[in-house]
Amino acid sequence: MPLYEFVCEEHGTWEMIASHTVETLACPDCGEESRRIFSLCARTTAHWGDTEWGINGKWDAGLGQRVFSRNHQDKMLRDRGLIRESDLGGDKFIDDYKTKAFAERDRLDKVTNTYTDNLKKFGGDKMKAVVETFPAHEMLAQSDKTTTTGA
């Protein structure tokens, strides 16, 4: 016979092994009639396949604390203003972003070096160095490209 949970209005809940047909039993403390209530089965990691988190959760190095479920981890991320890399649109989002950032840094370094060289070439004349470093036709082409691509 299964273990059922009963509720007494005076003494609260208690458990008793009983037949599935039994709807009421006398309270063991006061003898008043107690009704059977619906109770949830126990959730254990061993029986429900949740072996990833275990009974004591797992350490999340990125958060610097123990987390007990995916929902708990998501809440901690939200509270700190973070999101998962997988939610950014691909597994390589950060690597792709770094590659683009490094390429842009290299491009800007090249422009800076060109300007510095032109400044020396024209004896410190900033206007000539700017005109030589940033030719109008290249700036217009870059402007058109930015306008059409939104980049």
pLDDT at 144: 77
pLDDT at 140: 85
Query: Phi and psi for 46 in degrees, rounded to 5?
Result: -70, -30
pLDDT at 149: 61
pLDDT at 43: 59
pLDDT at 138: 83
Q: Across the 151 residues of the chain, what is the mean pLDDT of every consecutive 10-residue run?
A: 85 86 88 85 55 76 87 90 78 83 94 94 93 87 72 55
Residue ranges of domains in the chain: 3-37, 45-82, 93-149
pLDDT at 124: 92
